[in-house]
Amino acid sequence: MGRYRLTSRTFGDSDSVAGPRRLDVQSRAFRPWEILIRLWRAFWRPESVLWLLLASLLLLPVVMVASMSGATVAQMKLQADEISTLATGIRAYYADNVIARLQSADGQAVYSENYRNVHGGIPIPATLSIELGALFDNAHSDGRISYEFLSDYPFAKRLAKPLDSFERDAIQAFRENPQRCSYTALKGYGLGRSSYRLATPVVMRQACVTCHNAHPDSPKRDWKVGDVRGIQEVSVRGIQVEGFGNLGGLFAYVGLLGVTSVAATGLFQRQSSRLARVNHQLLESSRRESSLASRLTDQLQELSIFGSVVDDSIVGISIADMRKPDAPLIYVNNAFTTITGYARDLAIGYNCRFLQGPDTDAFELDKLRQAIREGASYTGDLINYRQDGTRFWNRLTLYPIRLGESPLPDYYVANQVDVTSLKQQASFSIAELASLSEQLQHARRSLADAERFSEALRRTFVQSAPKSVLIR
């Protein structure tokens, strides 16, 4: 406690605060699961899983080569030992049962199945095959390979095991088809669990026929050359797992690779889910954009219709962009070019003051300019000049279009009507006024179309113009 108090005084804390803080530090020192949690979080990062998977795949050939190399060396040692043991057994068998017996009988030999009990006796071929098979079996300590000489006509005094179904079927197959060379069977699959049986026919030769037909223990005395006496069978069981070296390490490595693959799969699925959500959001955005584009297309189509109506109107229509220096015209219709004589390429891009001339009323111009400064509408009659210099009375109507919050208009739409004939004739008869009614109605409809066009143009600009344009 004294050490705690000294620590608390050093930092300016009370004893009651220093004690718990020290205990908390000590308790944190004994939390190994925090390290595991941090390692797991580091491992679960996408780049960590991908790098581990890549390293596992790169090291897989090395592990496979190392394991198979060990298996090859072990298998070569096993086969070398088997061959050496078999060669030694055959040499000893030949020395003891053939050479030594011939030597002891001064070269006089008697062939017999019971050759060990006969002076100068040597084994007959069948006996030789049987006893060599025993030597061959002894050469394989694990019993993986066995050799047998079998017949369904064994000698009377010889102990013979019963034939199984494979052996009986093999003998029957060879007797039914003398041209057949082998009879096989494969059972099971996998290391240490499979077995392969091979049977080949033992065919009676002349010496064998002579011996067996005259032998007192032979169960059959009418053998003929070419008869199937029996079979010699070789059985091979699957190589034991130990023959493949240290497979435990290989299996452990494959297991690690599998765990890494599962982790990578889970990570990829999680990323795929995220991408699917992002893709869904993009699809929703695309649908919304398509809907907006469809509505914009409809509005553009409507605007195109209005534009066609305005282009063919008998009332002159022009639009000035008030946002640009000197407020140039950006649109004029066919009636404007007819009334003023100015072609589109001579009018668009210029301020409409090119229509003014010496006789243009200065007072009316002041009213027009005042309305433009205030962003208000204007209607009045002005003397303007055509391109060829002739004068005409222009009944001019201006009305503003605002796209944003600014009090000043962004555009001005102007209507021009040539009223020269009205000005020249101060009075008209009732019949003459009646003849002008149809033209006046047509002019009203054209003005109404122009107003609808300007309103559609305003809506289109409001919806499509950037915010930087709308808010100035």
What is the DSSP secondary structure assignment for residue 177, as one 8-state letter? -
Q: What is the pLDDT of residue 455?
A: 74
Task: Find the mean pLDDT for residues 411-436.
Answer: 75
For 245, the 3-state DSSP assignment is coil
Q: Up-side HSE of residue 231: CA atoms within 13 Å toward CB?
A: 27
CA separation, residue 98 to residues 22, 114, 123, 135 (Å): 94, 13, 8, 15
What six digits make up the tokens of 334? 């066919």
Q: Which of 12-16, 229-233, 446-450 has the lowest mean pLDDT?
A: 12-16
Q: Which of 47-56, 330-339, 378-387 has the lowest mean pLDDT?
A: 47-56
What six digits make up the tokens of 6? 């000294």
pLDDT bin (cut points 50, 70, 90) of residue 189 is low
What six digits make up the tokens of 372? 């433009």
Whether pLDDT at 196 is above 90:
no
Size of the chain in residues = 472
**Interval 13-44: pLDDT, tens:** 444 444 444 444 444 554 677 777 777 776 66
Contact 313, 449 (CB under 8 A): yes
* Cα end-to-end span (Å), the chain: 73
More confident residue, 166 or 255: 166
Alpha-carbon span 306 to 456, nearest angstrom: 8
Whether pLDDT at 195 is above 80:
no
Q: What is the pLDDT of residue 19?
A: 44
More confident residue, 77 or 216: 216
Task: Find the mean pLDDT for residues 103-111.
Answer: 70
**Interval 378-395: pLDDT, tens:** 999 999 999 999 999 999
pLDDT bin (cut points 50, 70, 90) of residue 252 is confident
Q: Which of 85-89, 179-183, 208-212, 316-320 has the lowest mean pLDDT?
A: 85-89
Task: Find the mean pLDDT for residues 46-53.
Answer: 69
**Interval 132-145: pLDDT, tens:** 766 666 666 666 67
For 287, the 3-state DSSP assignment is helix
What is the DSSP secondary structure assignment for residue 356, as one 8-state letter? -
Q: What is the pLDDT of residue 331?
A: 92
Highest mean pLDDT among 32-46, 63-77, 241-255: 32-46
Q: What is the pLDDT of residue 141?
A: 62
Highest mean pLDDT among 62-71, 105-114, 323-332: 323-332
Burial of 111 (0-12, 13-18, 19+ CB in 10 A): middle
Alpha-carbon span 129 to 147, nearest angstrom: 9
Q: What is the pLDDT of residue 7?
A: 35
The amino acid occupying position 411 is Y
More confident residue, 130 or 421: 421
For 141, the 3-state DSSP assignment is coil
Q: What is the pLDDT of residue 368?
A: 93
CA dihedral sign, ordered 103, 107, 113, 118: negative
Alpha-carbon span 327 to 320, nearest angstrom: 6
Alpha-carbon span 461 to 470, nearest angstrom: 9
**Interval 267-313: pLDDT, tens:** 777 777 888 888 888 888 888 888 888 888 777 777 777 667 777 78
What six digits make up the tokens of 221? 């005395």
H or E stretch including 186? strand 183-187
Q: What is the pLDDT of residue 378?
A: 95
Q: Up-side HSE of residue 367: CA atoms within 13 Å toward CB?
A: 14
Whether pLDDT at 191 is above 60:
no
Residue carrying the six token digits 């718990």: 20
Whether pLDDT at 210 is above 60:
yes
User: How is 369-392 classified by DSSP, letter by letter?
Assistant: HHHHHHT--EEEEEEEE-TTS-EE
What six digits make up the tokens of 424? 């020249």
Residue carrying the six token digits 């509408």: 377
At 79, phi and psi to the nearest 5? -65, -40
Highest mean pLDDT among 177-191, 242-256, 393-407, 457-471: 393-407
Residue carrying the six token digits 């991908």: 50
Whether pLDDT at 104 is above 90:
no
Neighbours of 149 (CB within 10 A): 20
Alpha-carbon span 114 to 117, nearest angstrom: 6
Task: Find the mean pLDDT for residues 149-169.
Answer: 84
Alpha-carbon span 46 to 53, nearest angstrom: 11
The chain-wide mean pLDDT, for the chain, equals 75
pLDDT bin (cut points 50, 70, 90) of residue 76 is low
User: How is 74-97 classified by DSSP, letter by letter?
Assistant: HHHHHHHHHHHHHHHHHHHHHIII
- Looking at 95-146, list the stretches that DSSP marks H as alpha helix, in order from N- to C-terminal side: 100-104, 125-138
CA dihedral sign, ordered 211, 216, 218, 221: positive
Contact 317, 413 (CB under 8 A): yes
**Interval 343-353: pLDDT, tens:** 999 999 999 99
- What domains can you pick out in the chain, each with its CATH number? 2-44 (no CATH), 82-244 (no CATH), 312-427+435-470 (3.30.450.20)
What is the DSSP secondary structure assignment for residue 113, as one 8-state letter? T
Q: What is the pLDDT of residue 9?
A: 37
pLDDT bin (cut points 50, 70, 90) of residue 213 is confident
